[in-house]
C-alpha cells in the first residue's frame, strides 16, 4: 500500500510523465526511492527541484476516489490491460468505475466527429450493437456525436468510456446520464485526478488510452486534423488495426476517413469487416515498436509471455553512474531544439551510449527543460 | 480497300468473334483467304458452315455508315487506339464520328450507376470538368446517371462516348441531343453495325471498349453486380488503374465502390488523386497478360515499340497442318464443358501443343460449338 501511495505521488509530481515514471521506477527499484532522487536528478538536468506532490494532497485524492466509488489501477497490477501496458507511455495510474474484465474481451474503439451526420450516428450505433452481439467490447470517448452513438449501441453490456477529465466530471454535461450508466453497467476510465476539468491537452492523452486498450480503432466521419485522426495515428503507432468508414467526398466530414483509407486503413462497411480484421490481430506485433515497458511480463497473457519477441529490454542501464561527463551533456544539449526529434536519432547523432542519452533526457525532463512528444520524440520545452 | 471490305465481312459473319478474327487473319494472311477457309474449318470443328455475311449486306452497311457521316476504324489502322489494341479481344472494326485524336491524350473512363444520387452526378460532372481542364480525355457509356454527368462535364472538348448499339441508335432516347453533340464536338464510338438496337449482351462488349481505351477507370456509385463493376474488372484485367469514389455504407449504391476499394482500387476524392494515379501509368504493363495481338507493332507508339516486352508472339503456329489427329480432338473435347475454363488450363491438362489447342478451339468456335468468355476462358455453347 505504501508503494502504491508513492507511485501515485510520483506520477502526480511536476515534470514526471508516463515515460519518465517508468524510467524512474525501473532505475531506482521503487517509487519511494525515485521520489527521493527527484531533486538531485533535476539539478543535474540544470533546473530547480520539481514540485513534488504533497502527501496530504495524495491522501485527499485517494479518499475522494474511494468516496466516488472508484478504484485505482496501477501499471503493473495483474488486471492492468495488457494491450495498454504495451504503450511506451502507458498511464502509470488509472481511476475506474465498473467492470474491468470487459477489457479482457476482444476490444475495438469507435471514434469520430462530434458534429457527425445523423446517418453516421445511426451507423455507429448499429455497428456498436452488432459488435456487442459478437462479444466484442466497444470503447469510445464520451464526446458528442459518434462517441455517444457508439456508447448507446453497446450500453448495458460492453460499453467502455475513457474520459479526458476526472472520473466525477461530466463533459459534455448532457452526457452525465450516459456516463453514470456506463460506470454502473460497463466501465468508465479516467487518467486525471477527480475534479479535473478536461483541458485541450488532456484529449490526446485520453485518445492514447482509447487506442491503447483496443485491438483496432474504427473512425466514423472525421474532418482533416481532427482528434479522431490522432486516435487513429496512435493506434497505428501502437501496431493496432486502423479501420475507417468511407463517405462521400462531397462531405467534409468524410475527408478524414477517406484519407485514412488512402493511407492504408481498412475500409469498413459492416461488422463482418471488423470481425475479419480483428481475427487477424497479432498480439505479438502490437507494441513491437516500443523500447521499454516496465511491467510487461506481469501483464501479458501466458501464451504471449512465451512467444513475445525480446524487444522490451530496459534501455536505461541501472549500472550507469550519475557522473556523465560534461562534454557529453553539452553534446546532447546542442542537438536538442524546439523541434521534436526521435530519441534514436539523438543516440545516432550524439554517438553516446543509448542508456546515457536516456538518463540525460530524464534529467532534463525533471528539470522542466524537455518535453516528450508522440512517436518517442523529444524537444526542448517552450 | 478490298481487304477492308473482306475484314468487315469476316467480322460480320456468324461465329467469328474478335479473338477468332485475329487468329484467322494471322493464320491465313488476309481476311479474303480466311473467309474462303471458314466452311472447311467449321466442318473440322464438327459443325455446319457458318453463315457468311453477304457481300451485298456489307456493301449496304458501308454505304449507310458513310451516309451517317461516320467512318470505319480497323484493328491495325495507324490511328487505332494503341491501348485498345492491347486487348486480346480488341474490336476488329469500330465505327466512329468525331475527333479520333482525343484518344491519343491521357484518357480516363468515368462510369457508374444509372440511378445515381444527385450528389454523385454533380461530383462526376465536376470531376470530368476538372479532368478536361487538365487535358485529360473523359470516356463513358452514354447511359443515364453517372455516364451522362461525366459527358456533360467534359462536353465541347474531350468527351468520348462508347455506345452499345449502332452509331445511329439513341439509347436512352433522352440522350439523343447529348449523343449528337459528342459526335460533333468529341468522339462517338460504336462496335455494332448501324441500326443495331442495343441488347443485354452488347453492354459488356461496350464496357471492354470503355476500359480498353483508358489508362484508368473511375467508378462513381455502383451497386454490387452492376455493369460498372464489370467495366472495373475488365480494366483491372487489362492492367489499367481501377479507381473508385467511396460513399456511405448505408447507401446501397456505394457498396460496389466501397467493395472495389477493399479489393485494392484507389480511393478517389478529387481530380488530384486521379492525376497522381495516371501519372504512374506504365504503358508497358498494360496488356502484358495478353497472349496475342495481331497488329500491335503498328499501333504502339515508337517508345513502346522499343521497350515492350516480347509477350505478343503469335500462339497459332502457321505451319500447323490441318490434320490434327482424332485422338487429340477427342481428348480436347472431353476436357470442355459448359463451365468456362482457361485456354492455358486446357493446354496443361490435354498435354497437347498450345498451337494445336488454339486451332481446335478456333474450329469449334466457327462450328458454333464453343463460346469465349472473359479472361481468355472458353466453354461449350449452351
> Does the beta-carbon distance from A123 to B248 stay under 8 Å?
yes
pLDDT at B382: 75
CA distance A149 to A113: 11
Which of A249, A255, A267 lies closest to B258 in CB terms?
A267
Of the listed ranges A25-29, A46-50, B292-296, B372-376, the least confidently predicted one is B292-296
What's the alpha-carbon Rg for chain A, to the nearest Å? 21
* Separation in Å, CA of A263 to nearest CA in chain B: 10
Q: Which residue has the higher pLDDT, A304 or B273?
A: B273
> CB of B274 within 8 A of CB of B268?
yes
Q: CB–CB of B246 and A248 under 8 A?
A: yes
Distance (Å) from the C-alpha of residue A247 to the closest C-alpha of chain B? 4
HEC secondary structure over A240-291:
CEEEEECCCCCCHHHHHHHHHHHCCCEECCCHHHHHHHHCCCCCCCCCCCCC
Mutate to test the interface with B, among A112, A258, A271 (most CBs of B within 10 A): A258
Q: Are B128 and B154 in contact (CB under 8 A)?
A: yes
Q: How far is B251 from chain A, CA to nearest CA, in Å?
A: 10
| Positions of E strands within B168-305 | 187-190, 216-220, 241-245, 266-267
Q: Which residues of B touch A246 (CB under 8 A)?
A: 246-249, 254, 258, 261, 267
- Who among B255, B267, B270 is closest to A261 (CB)? B267
Cβ under 8 Å to B: A residues 224-253: 245-250
A267 with B261: Cβ contact below 8 A: yes
**Residues contacting A357, CB < 8 A, separation 6+:** A332, A343, A346, A347, A350
Weakly modelled stretches of chain A, pLDDT under 70 = 1, 282-323
The residue that leads in pLDDT, A115 or B301, is A115
Residues whose CB falls within 8 Å of the CB of residue B296, separated by 6 or more in sequence, listed in order: B82, B85, B86, B308, B312
SS3 A205: helix
pLDDT recorded at residue B284: 56
pLDDT of residue B319: 53
**pLDDT more than 90, % of chain B:** 84
Tell the residue number behind the cell numbers 479516467, with chain if given. A190
* pLDDT at position B321: 53
Mean pLDDT over residues B47-70, rounded? 96
The reported pLDDT for the residue numbered B151 is 98
Name every chain B residue with its beta carbon within 8 A of the beta carbon of A250: 119, 122-123
Average pLDDT in the B133-142 region?
97
Q: How far is CA A288 from CA A64, A283, B241, B331, in A?
A: 37, 9, 35, 57
* Mutation to test the A interface, candidates B118, B125, B245, B269, most A Cβ within 10 Å: B269
Q: CA of A218, closest CA in chain B: separation in Å? A: 14
Q: What pLDDT is recorded for position A323? A: 60
Long-range interactions of A131-134: CB distance < 8 A, separation 24+: A131/A158, A131/A271, A131/A274, A132/A157, A132/A158, A134/A271, A134/A275
Q: Is B272 part of the contact surface with chain A (CB cutoff 8 Å)?
A: no
CA nearest B120 in A: which residue? Answer: A248
Q: What is the DSSP pairing of strand A93-98 with strand A187-190?
A: antiparallel
**Which helix H or strand E contains A350, and what residues bound it?**
helix A343-350
B104 pLDDT above the threshold of 70 = yes
Q: What is the Cα–Cα distance from B184 to B177, expressed in whole angstroms?
A: 11
For B262, the closest of A245, A255, A267 (CB atoms) is A267
> Grid coordinates 473512425 are at which residue?
A219
Nearest by Cα to A27 from A320, A245, A283 = A320
Contact (CB<8Å) A262/B266 = yes
Per-residue three-class SS string for B126-140: HHHHHHHHCCCEEEE
CA distance A230 to chain B (A): 21
Q: Is the pLDDT of residue B93 over 90?
A: yes
State the pLDDT at residue B236.
95
DSSP state, residue A48: P
pLDDT in tens, B331-351: 999 999 999 999 999 999 999
Q: Which residues contact A283 (CB under 8 A, 6 or more apart)?
A: A83, A301, A304
Residue B243, min C-alpha distance to chain A (Å): 11
**Closest-approach residue (CA) in chain A for B261:** A267
- The angle that helices A146-154 and A176-185 make with each other, rounded to 10 degrees, is 40
Tell me how many residue pairs between chain A and chain B have CB atoms under 8 A apart.
63
Contact, B80 vs B73, CB < 8 A?
yes
- Which chain B residue has the Cα nearest residue A270? B249
Higher pLDDT, residue B295 or A352: A352
What ipTM was assigned to the predicted interfaces of this complex? 0.79
Answer whether B273 touches A (CB < 8 Å). Answer: yes
Q: Cα–Cα distance between B220 and A196 in angstroms, integer?
A: 48
pLDDT of residue B370: 95
Q: Which of A255, A258, A270 sits opposite B249 (nearest CB)?
A: A270
| Cβ–Cβ contact A78 with B under 8 A | no
A268 backbone dihedrals φ, ψ, rounded to 5°:
-115, 125
* Per-residue model confidence (pLDDT) at position B320: 58
Chain A positions touching B119 (Cβ under 8 A) are 248, 250
CA-nearest residue of chain B to A257? B246
- pLDDT value for A290: 36
Q: Please give the full DSSP string across B274-303, using - where no structure is assigned.
A: HHHHHTT--TTTTTTT----TTHHHHS-HH
Phi and psi, residue B94, nearest 5°: -120, 155
Report yes or no: A188 and A167 within 8 Å, Cβ to Cβ. Answer: yes
Residue of B209 and B284 predicted with greater confidence: B209
- Chain B residues 112-171 with a CB less than 8 Å from chain A: 119-120, 122-123
Interface test with B, best of A117, A267, A268 (most B CBs within 10 A): A267
Contact A80, A295 (CB under 8 A): yes
**Mean of the per-residue pLDDT values of chain B:** 89
Reported as type and span, the H/E element at residue B162 is strand B159-163
Mean pLDDT for the stretch of residues B28-33: 95
Tell me which chain B residue has its CA closest to the CA of residue A221.
Answer: B248
Residue A306 has what pLDDT?
36
Peptide linkage before A172 cis (omega within 30 of 0): yes
pLDDT for B283: 64
Of the candidates B64, B63, B67, B41, the residue with the CA atom closest to the CA atom of residue B52: B41
CA–CA dist A235, A163 (Å, integer): 17
Contact A248 B122 (CB under 8 A): no
- Tell me the C-alpha distance between A87 and A379, whole Å: 20
- Nearest of B366, B365, B324 to residue B49 by alpha carbon: B366
Q: Contact, A84 vs A213, CB < 8 A?
A: yes
Q: CA B62 → CA A191, B3, B195, B206, distances in Å?
A: 81, 14, 12, 21
The pLDDT assigned to A304 comes to 39
Among the partner-chain residues A119, A245, A248, the one whose CB lies closest to the CB of B119 is A248
**Average pLDDT value for residue range B11-25:** 96
Residues in chain A within 8 Å Cβ distance of B269: 249, 255, 258-259, 262
pLDDT digits (tens, 9 = 90+) for A319-332: 555 567 889 999 99
Most A-contacting residue of B122, B219, B246, B266 (CB-CB within 10 A), to test interface: B246
**B173-214: per-residue pLDDT in tens?**
999 999 999 999 999 999 999 999 999 999 999 999 999 999
Is A269–B261 a contact, with Cβ atoms under 8 angstroms apart? no
Q: Which chain B residues are closer than 8 Å to A254 by Cβ?
A: 246
Q: A171 to each of A175, A185, A239, A365, B130, how far by Cα in Å?
A: 7, 19, 30, 31, 44
**Could you tell me which of B177, B120, B180 has the C-alpha nearest to residue B150?**
B120
Q: Name the pLDDT band for B285 (thresholds 50, 70, 90).
A: low
CB under 8 Å to B321, separation ≥6 — which residues?
none
Give the dihedral of Cα atoms B270, B275, B277, B279; nearest 10 deg.
Answer: -170
Question: What pLDDT score was predicted for residue A156?
Answer: 84
CA pair distance A322, B299, nearest whole angstrom: 76
Spell A167-177 as b/e; 16+ CB within 10 A means b.
Answer: bbbbbeeebee
Task: Read off the DSSP letter of residue B265.
Answer: P
Amino acid at each position: 500500500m505504501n508503494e502504491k501511495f508513492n507511485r501515485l505521488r510520483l506520477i502526480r509530481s511536476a515534470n514526471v510523465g508516463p515515460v519518465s515514471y517508468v524510467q524512474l521506477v525501473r532505475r531506482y527499484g521503487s517509487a519511494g526511492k525515485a521520489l527521493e532522487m527527484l531533486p538531485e536528478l533535476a539539478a543535474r538536468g540544470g533546473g530547480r527541484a520539481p514540485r513534488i506532490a504533497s502527501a496530504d494532497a495524495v491522501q485527499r485524492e485517494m479518499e475522494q476516489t474511494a468516496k466516488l466509488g472508484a478504484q485505482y489501477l496501477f501499471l503493473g497490477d495483474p488486471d492492468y490491460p495488457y494491450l495498454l501496458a504495451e504503450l511506451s507511455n502507458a498511464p502509470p495510474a488509472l481511476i475506474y468505475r465498473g467492470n474491468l474484465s470487459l477489457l479482457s474481451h476482444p476490444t475495438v474503439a469507435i471514434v469520430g466527429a462530434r458534429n457527425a451526420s445523423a446517418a453516421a450516428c445511426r451507423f455507429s450505433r448499429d455497428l456498436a450493437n452488432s459488435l456487442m452481439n459478437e462479444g466484442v467490447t466497444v470503447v469510445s470517448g464520451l464526446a458528442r456525436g459518434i462517441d455517444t452513438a457508439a456508447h448507446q449501441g453497446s450500453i448495458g453490456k460492453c460499453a467502455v468510456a475513457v474520459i479526458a477529465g476526472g472520473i466525477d466530471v461530466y463533459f459534455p454535461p448532457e452526457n452525465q446520464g450516459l456516463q453514470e450508466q456506463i460506470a454502473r453497467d460497463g466501465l468508465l476510465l479516467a487518467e486525471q485526478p477527480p475534479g479535473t476539468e478536461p483541458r485541450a491537452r488532456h484529449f490526446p492523452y485520453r485518445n492514447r488510452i482509447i487506442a491503447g486498450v483496443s485491438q483496432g480503432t474504427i473512425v466514423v466521419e472525421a474532418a482533416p486534423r481532427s482528434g479522431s485522426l490522432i486516435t487513429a495515428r496512435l493506434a497505428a503507432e501502437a501496431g493496432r488495426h486502423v479501420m475507417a468508414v468511407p463517405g462521400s467526398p462531397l462531405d467534409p466530414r468524410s475527408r478524414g476517413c477517406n484519407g485514412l483509407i488512402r493511407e492504408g486503413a481498412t475500409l469498413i462497411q459492416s461488422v463482418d469487416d471488423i470481425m475479419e480484421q480483428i481475427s487477424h490481430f497479432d498480439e505479438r506485433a502490437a507494441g513491437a515498436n516500443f523500447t521499454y515497458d516496465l511491467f510487461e511480463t506481469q501483464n501479458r497473457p501466458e501464451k504471449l509471455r512465451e512467444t513475445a519477441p525480446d524487444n522490451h529490454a530496459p534501455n536505461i542501464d541501472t549500472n550507469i553512474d550519475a557522473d556523465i561527463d560534461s562534454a557529453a551533456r553539452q553534446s546532447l544539449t546542442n542537438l536538442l531544439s524546439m523541434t521534436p526529434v526521435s530519441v534514436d536519432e539523438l543516440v545516432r547523432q550524439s554517438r553516446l551510449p543509448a542508456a546515457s542519452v536516456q538518463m540525460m533526457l530524464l534529467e532534463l525532463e525533471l528539470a522542466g527543460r524537455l518535453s516528450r512528444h508522440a512517436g518517442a520524440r523529444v524537444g526542448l520545452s517552450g
